[in-house]
Structure 1
Amino acid sequence: MKKSMSKSAENQTFIKYVILLSMNPGKSFNEELIRSHVAYLRDLQSMGKLVMCGPFADVPGGMVIIEAENLEEAKALAERDPFIKSGTENYELRAWEISCEENNHLGMG
């Protein structure tokens, strides 16, 4: 028998948080900052929070997709990133609702 979960817990299962990173004008990266960012990504991974990440190939900037309990936790995680803390990059945070077979494409499948 399938374990039942509350509607809000079930909905949260299909929410990921997208951190869109973009460079602040007049700022640039250095090796130390990049290594700090990578160490932070590894910390997220070890906490089970990192889903995927990487720079964009066609435009400046990058994206980090994380798991979080809620928007507040996602914001706190984003703001711990050395790219953000240093003021080198800014970010936009989005709650991304995953459409897949497991949730019958958001109940519309």
Structure 2
Amino acid sequence: MNRQFIVHLSNKQKHLMTKELIQGHVSYLGELKQQGKLPFCGPCKDETAIMILKADSLEEAEELLAGDLFTRANYYQDRRIVEVEEATPENNFLFDDVLVNLRNHS
């Protein structure tokens, strides 16, 4: 079962950037995209970045992140991975789950 994880990257170490580092990073992102493991990634306006990874477990998401040259070089010193459950029309935007939780806390 593919689960989705949001990776938030922050505390950029700009002095570590080299042409080789960015080329390796972009190449790895391309591999993940081709494998269907990376539906979205990009820099944020606040100097952070995010990735959405598809993986079977948190451990697999951590392994995917560890394979990135940015991670190996510690380009972003802070990396946080959080599993996310997508709210869609098909699952009624998780409304039923909210109702169950409200009933359980009443």
TM-score (norm 1): 0.77
- Sequence identity, in percent? 31
Q: Tell me which of 89, 99, 104 is aligned to 2:76.
A: 89
Segments of structure 1 that go 5 or more residues without pairing to the other structure are 1-8
Q: Tell me which of 81, 87, 93 is aligned to 1:99.
A: 87
Post-superposition Cα deviations, 1:53-102, rounded to whole Å, max 9, x if no partner, equal 11002x11211111101111011101111101112223111101111111
Segments of structure 2 that go 5 or more residues without pairing to the other structure are 99-106
Name the SS of the counterpart of 2:47 in structure 1.
Answer: coil
| Structure 1: distance between partners of 2:95 and 2:59 | 26
Q: CA deviation at 1:28?
A: 3.1
Q: Tell me which of 28, 32, 55 is aligned to 1:44.
A: 32
Identify the residue that residue 69 of structure 1 maps to in structure 2: 56
2:53 partner amino acid:
I
2:36 partner amino acid:
G
| RMSD of equivalent CA atoms | 2.0
Structure 1 residues 37 and 25 mapped into 2: Cα distance closer, same or farther (>3 Å)? Answer: closer
Identify the residue that residue 42 of structure 2 maps to in structure 1: 54
| Structure 1: distance between partners of 2:30 and 2:95 | 34
How many residue pairs were aligned? 96
TM-score (norm 2): 0.79
| Structure 1: distance between partners of 2:86 and 2:11 | 27
Q: Tell me which of 10, 15, 23 is aligned to 1:35.
A: 23
